[in-house]
């Protein structure tokens, strides 16, 4: 038990630059407090002690704003950063060295009994406000972007963004757990590709119109016209997708 708590303290010192000492973590980190109290309630739950584990989890919720069902299984070195609004369901399993930000929900779907909450492998990072729903598995070293909703299994070494969550595979790439905001903007990329395609079609249409005019004059252009069309200059679109094409 004390070895596990020591590991929880160490991971906070490693991942949170604001942590200045063990005493500060003990007194001021609700994520650490919630997990520590959960480890007690989980042991009582495994011994089938009635009511007391649930009562302890409710006290933990009132003190920290983090709700963890006593039946959830949490590995070592798990860090809940800030933590307000985090909800972890009964049959959830969280692997070692996972990182959860505020507002995360590891919830169930339906009213069936048995396994109905997610399983997180090791080194998974769940961004603020993300929802992982159902008896699904999120592979090791995976990042889930803030506000995403994941309802299907995710392979290891992946990045998940959007509603519903879409996967960008990063097999073999080491994930920096603090870089949860460095995620691709999938919707902006799709819109940019569509606008570029429209530009291309407009240029081809302009070339065809000039060809028809020149045919009447017995003149044929030597090359297809190309140039920057006006679509990407549209103010609303630019404000949405940004000026940086690398997004």
Q: Does residue 16 register a pLDDT over 90?
A: no
Query: Distance (Å, rounded) from C-alpha 69 to C-alpha 56?
Result: 10
Q: Does residue 9 register a pLDDT over 70?
A: yes
Distance of CA 138 to the CA centre of its chain: 11
Q: Does residue 55 register a pLDDT over 70?
A: yes
pLDDT band for position 203 (cuts 50, 70, 90)? confident
Structure confidence by residue, pLDDT tens digits, 206-247:
888 888 887 777 655 556 555 554 555 566 566 666 666 555
| pTM for this prediction | 0.68
Instruction: Give percent of the chain above pLDDT 90.
Output: 35
Host H or E run for residue 105: strand 105-107
pLDDT given at position 198? 87
Which whole-number Å values give the CA distances from 184 to 63, 143, 161, 162, 180, in the listed order?
36, 11, 8, 10, 11
> Bigger pLDDT: 186 or 58?
58
Q: Which is it for strands 158-161 and 166-169: parallel, antiparallel or unpaired?
A: antiparallel
Question: Residues of 77-112 as b/e, b for ≥16 C-beta within 10 angstroms?
Answer: bbbbbbbeebbbbebbbbbbbbbbbbbbbbbbeeee
| Torsion 168-172-176-177 (CA) sign | positive
Poorest-confidence range of 6-10, 139-143, 156-160, 231-235? Answer: 231-235
Structure confidence by residue, pLDDT tens digits, 20-46:
888 888 888 899 999 999 999 999 999
pLDDT given at position 224? 56
pLDDT band for position 58 (cuts 50, 70, 90)? very high
**Rounded to 5°, angle at Cα 8 from 46 and 30:** 85
Query: Distance (Å, rounded) from C-alpha 37 to C-alpha 83?
Result: 14
Poorest-confidence range of 52-61, 114-123, 225-234? Answer: 225-234
Host H or E run for residue 167: strand 166-169
Give the residue among 77, 57, 83, 81 at the shortest CA–CA distance from 69.
57
Phi then psi for 213, rounded to 5 degrees?
A: -65, -40
Query: Distance (Å, rounded) from C-alpha 88 to C-alpha 91?
Result: 9
Structure confidence by residue, pLDDT tens digits, 65-116:
999 999 999 998 899 988 899 999 999 999 999 999 999 999 988 777 788 9
For the beta carbon of residue 171, count every other beta carbon within 10 angstroms.
Answer: 10
pLDDT given at position 126? 93
Question: Residues of 19-40 as b/e, b for ≥16 C-beta within 10 angstroms?
Answer: beeeeebeeebbbbbbbbbbbb
């Amino acid at each position: 038990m004390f070895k596990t708590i020591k590991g929880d303290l160490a991971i906070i010192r490693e991942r949170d630059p604001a942590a200045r000492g063990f005493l500060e973590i003990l007194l001021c980190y609700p994520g650490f407090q919630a997990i520590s109290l959960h480890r007690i309630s989980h042991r009582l739950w495994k011994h089938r002690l009635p009511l007391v584990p649930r009562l302890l989890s409710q006290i933990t919720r009132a003190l920290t704003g983090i709700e963890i069902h006593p039946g959830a299984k949490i590995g070592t070195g798990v860090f809940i950063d800030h933590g307000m609004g985090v909800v972890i369901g009964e049959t959830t399993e969280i692997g070692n060295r996972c990182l959860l930000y505020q507002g995360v929900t590891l919830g169930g779907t339906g009213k069936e009994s048995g396994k109905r909450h997610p399983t997180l492998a090791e080194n998974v990072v769940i961004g603020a406000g993300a929802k992982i729903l159902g008896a699904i598995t999120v592979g090791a070293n995976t990042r889930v972007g803030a506000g995403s909703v994941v309802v299907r299994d995710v392979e290891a070494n992946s990045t998940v963004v959007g509603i519903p969550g879409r996967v960008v595979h990063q097999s073999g790439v080491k994930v920096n757990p603090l870089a949860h905001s460095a995620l691709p903007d999938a919707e902006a990329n799709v819109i940019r590709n569509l606008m570029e395609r429209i530009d291309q079609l407009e240029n081809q249409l302009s070339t065809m119109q000039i060809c028809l005019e020149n045919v009447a004059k017995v003149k044929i252009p030597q090359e297809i016209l190309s140039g920057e069309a006006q679509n990407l200059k549209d103010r609303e679109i630019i404000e949405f997708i940004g000026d940086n094409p690398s997004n």
